[in-house]
């Protein structure tokens, strides 16, 4: 059962706000909070919004208005980090190592995976199917060859 399976959007967002507050206040954190705080640390552009607390919990981020959803972006970072840690789909860890060697930072390489993962999820949703792991991994490997 997925960890975030039965939480509302506001509850999930509150996890980010709380993890960041604990990091700033140097309070003890749970392992998942440490992972979230690490992603937030890598995104100083999102930190002020998270420090607003409740003001950001119900905010809609409309792409039509040019808004980037920081929670979606950071959630995708968490997803690709989990993929790499668990090597799921099989081969993603090695492919990521190749990508990381080609980019100035691991964070930049993660952004390549994020784009490809978002594309795979969008295609799956559009087609009413589960994400195609083989197609996703093939696209990642294509990026390694470029």
Residues 41 and 94 in one domain: no
Are 51 and 105 within one domain?
A: no
Same domain membership, residue 116 and residue 84: yes
Indicate if 33 and 6 belong to the same structural domain: yes
Residues in the chain, pLDDT under 70: 1-5, 54-55
3-state secondary structure of 109: helix
What is this structure's pTM?
0.89
Q: Residue 71: which of 113, 105, 106, 40 has the closest Cα?
A: 40
Where does residue 119 rank: exposed (0-12), middle (13-18), buried (19+ CB within 10 A)? middle
Same domain membership, residue 99 and residue 49:
no
What pLDDT score was predicted for residue 1? 33
pLDDT per residue as tens digits for the range 40-68: 999 999 999 898 876 677 788 887 777 78
Domain that holds residue 47: 1-57
- pLDDT of 9 reads 86
Same structural domain, 42 and 84: no
From 57, 73, 92, the end of a domain falls on: 57
Instruction: Indicate the number of domains in the chain.
Output: 2
Distance from C-alpha of 47 to C-alpha of 20, rounded to nearest angstrom: 8
pLDDT at 4: 53
Q: Are residues 142 and 71 in the same domain?
A: yes
Helix axes 70-86, 9-24, angle to 10 degrees: 80
Residue with tokens 């009413």: 128
- So what's the pLDDT on residue 5? 61
H-only helix segments in the chain:
9-24, 31-41, 47-50, 54-57, 70-86, 92-102, 106-127, 133-145
Give pLDDT, residue 2: 44
Q: Give yes or no: residues 37 and 74 share one domain.
A: no
């Amino acid at each position: 059962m997925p960890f975030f399976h039965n939480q509302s959007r506001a509850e999930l967002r509150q996890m980010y706000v709380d993890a960041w507050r604990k990091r700033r206040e140097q309070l003890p954190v749970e392992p998942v909070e440490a992972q979230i705080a690490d992603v937030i640390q890598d995104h100083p552009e999102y930190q002020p919004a998270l420090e607003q607390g409740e003001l950001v919990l119900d905010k809609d981020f409309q792409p039509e208005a040019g808004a980037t959803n920081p929670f979606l972006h950071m959630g995708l970072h968490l997803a690709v980090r989990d993929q790499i840690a668990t090597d799921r789909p099989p081969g993603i860890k090695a492919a990521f190592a190749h990508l990381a060697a080609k980019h100035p930072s691991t964070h930049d390489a993660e952004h390549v995976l994020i784009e490809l993962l978002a594309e795979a999820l969008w295609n799956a949703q559009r087609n009413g199917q589960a994400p195609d792991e083989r197609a996703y991994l093939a696209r990642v490997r294509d990026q390694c060859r470029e």
